[in-house]
Amino acid sequence: MSSVMNAKKRAFTLIELIAVLVVLAVLSGVALPKYFDYSARAKSSALQGGLGGVRSAMANFFSNSVVEGTTAYPTLAELTTAGSVLMDEMPVNPYNGLSNVIAATSVEAAARTVSGTAAGWRYYVDNSADPPVAIFFANSDDETKVSDGSGGFKTANEL
């Protein structure tokens, strides 16, 4: 009989179990939004890194062409050929998982128009303009975690 009493004294009461569940619910309510925010910021950072790498390579290509006397940005074919402008393959757009590049018109590039979901990036180049013009942007209008300066956030194609 005393062993049955000792077993009862060691068990959790219903109130204790509910208290533990409430504490876990509060902790998960605080932790999950933070996790999703970190994930969104990581996507924004990956996009900025990809854009920065490609744009830097394009600027390097342009600088080399100026030295050679041609003054031109890479064509779409040159940009998408590994080893021509970029050392490696085109980076993946973290918002749609694609790394291919499609052409944009001057109007689309100026407005940063997204063209469906079949491409990761858009590129406009006009080497006949004076000076030459090249615009490279993400083919996604998902919201990033990059501030727009007015309390909101920029979309991926605005970066």
Dihedral pair phi/psi, residue 41, rounded to 5°: -70, -35
CA distance 154 to 111: 14
Q: Give the pairing type, strands 153-155 and 143-147.
A: antiparallel
Tokens at residue 53, please? 């790498």
- Cα separation of 57 and 51, whole Å? 10
Distance CA 79, CA 121 (A): 11
Instruction: Say if residues 137 and 122 touch (Cβ distance below 8 Å).
Output: yes
Within 8 A by CB and 6+ apart from 50, the residues are 91, 92, 93, 94
Written as tens digits, the pLDDT of the chain (159 aa) is 555 555 556 778 889 899 999 999 888 888 777 777 888 899 999 999 999 999 999 999 999 999 999 999 999 999 999 999 999 999 999 999 999 999 999 999 999 999 988 999 999 999 999 999 999 999 999 999 999 999 999 999 999
* Alpha-helical segments (H) within 69-150: 76-80, 106-111
Q: What pTM was estimated for this model as a whole?
A: 0.79
Q: Tell me, what's the pLDDT at 4?
A: 56
What is the reported pLDDT for 5? 55
Beta strands across the sheet bearing 101-103? 101-103, 121-126, 133-138
Q: What pLDDT shows up at residue 102?
A: 97
Q: Write down the pLDDT at residue 10.
A: 75
Whether residue 88 contacts residue 80, with contact meaning beta carbons closer than 8 Å, is answered with: no
> How open is the CA angle 48-33-139, to the nearest 5 degrees?
30
